[in-house]
Structure 1
Amino acid sequence: MPNLSAEEIEQVSYYLCNIFRRLDRDMAFLLSKEGLTFAQMLVLRYIRDRGGTTLAELTEELHWSASTLSGIIKRLERDGYIKRQSDPADLRVYRLKITNKAYHILEKTCCIYNDHLAGIASHFQTEEFSLLLLSLQKLWHAVQQEQPCRNQEGDL
């Protein structure tokens, strides 16, 4: 283990939390003009990129609770961005597919998202950004390995 102080380790958590909050707030502002939330855009993009998915796959991949995703899905379905289809392999499960309306809104919102991230990335040299990406990937793997055991109710 590296010789790091508790303060240094806490600073990593501090910056990660604040970066996430700021990006979330900035994206909420930028996407509100298109009538989507950041979470809705992420869900639509995930469904689009996989050609369809289930609620269980979304919860596992996005690491969000089923109740959070159910609300997002309900609003996206209400607004005509997704439709539910029975899964031929298991009629108890439904697959989520995006509509043409969703494809059009994703073209706009993904451009907004990518432009914002490109602006942030422009503050880095290529080598710095590559090192940042590698460090974040390593941190993500460490977080996954150190995940606390949970009981059946999902509590710690």
Structure 2
Amino acid sequence: MKQEFKISETMLWVRLAVTFNLLYQEIKKDLSKENLTVSQLDILVCLNRTKGLPLTEIADRLLVTGGNVTGIIDRLENAGLVMRQRDQKDRRQVWARLTPKGYAVYRQLMPRYIETMRKINSYLTPAEAKELMRLLKKLRVGVMKKASRDLIPLSMNTNLERE
């Protein structure tokens, strides 16, 4: 027997995708004024919270490939925002950390980025925002539990359930 297809079953996913794309474009537009991409901002945010990270850990945190991170770090390094450093104990491992200019750009960008997020979030009441966060976490954790553990970095498996 053929299972009946219901449009309402896909509308949630369509709306999530469309909403994500709209939010992404808004952030992308704001960052383009600074000649930065969303991926570059993601790395600046990761590195700002630390004294540096191995490139492999950055890739795990951002759910991208090592090659992707290498290319983004290349561009950030060329802009003087990031520097690479070989691990003293394991010379095969390369770390990235923010330069003073990178910290300055981060500090300059964040107030505008936060203001953009506030404008976007203003469409929801605090209670609605809290409920949306709860529901998205529930959905994300459920998807992560069903996903192949080989495809998801270990750091993502453990960190997502704590958020």
Q: Same fold (TM over 0.5)?
A: yes
Matches within 5 A, 1:5-154: 7-148=7-148
**Partners in 2 of 1:148 and 1:14 — Cα distance?**
23
Pick closer, same or farther for the CA change 1:96–1:149 going to 2, 3 Å: closer
**Partners in 1 of 2:7 and 2:148 — Cα distance?**
22
In structure 1, stretches of 5+ residues that fail to align are: 152-156
Normalising by structure 1, report the TM-score: 0.86
**Partners in 1 of 2:98 and 2:109 — Cα distance?**
15
Moved over 4 A (4+): none
Per the TM alignment, residue 75 of structure 1 is displaced from its structure 2 partner at its CA by: 0.3
In structure 2, stretches of 5+ residues that fail to align are: 152-163
Per the TM alignment, residue 150 of structure 1 is displaced from its structure 2 partner at its CA by: 5.7
For the Cα contact (< 8 Å) 1:44–1:106, is it kept in 2?
A: yes
SS in 2 for 1:96: strand
Show CA shifts across 1:77-123 (max 9, x none).
11111001111231110111101111111112222211111111111
Task: Tell me how many residue pairs correspond in the alignment.
Answer: 147
**Partners in 1 of 2:102 and 2:50 — Cα distance?**
14
Q: Determine the structure 1 residue equivalent to 2:158.
A: none
Pick closer, same or farther for the CA change 1:149–1:129 going to 2, 3 Å: closer
**Partners in 2 of 1:105 and 1:132 — Cα distance?**
31
**Partners in 2 of 1:24 and 1:67 — Cα distance?**
22
**Partners in 1 of 2:8 and 2:108 — Cα distance?**
39
Pick closer, same or farther for the CA change 1:146–1:80 going to 2, 3 Å: same
Pick closer, same or farther for the CA change 1:83–1:110 going to 2, 3 Å: same
**Partners in 1 of 2:51 and 2:17 — Cα distance?**
31
Per the TM alignment, residue 40 of structure 1 is displaced from its structure 2 partner at its CA by: 0.5
- Identity across the alignment (%): 27
Normalising by structure 2, report the TM-score: 0.82
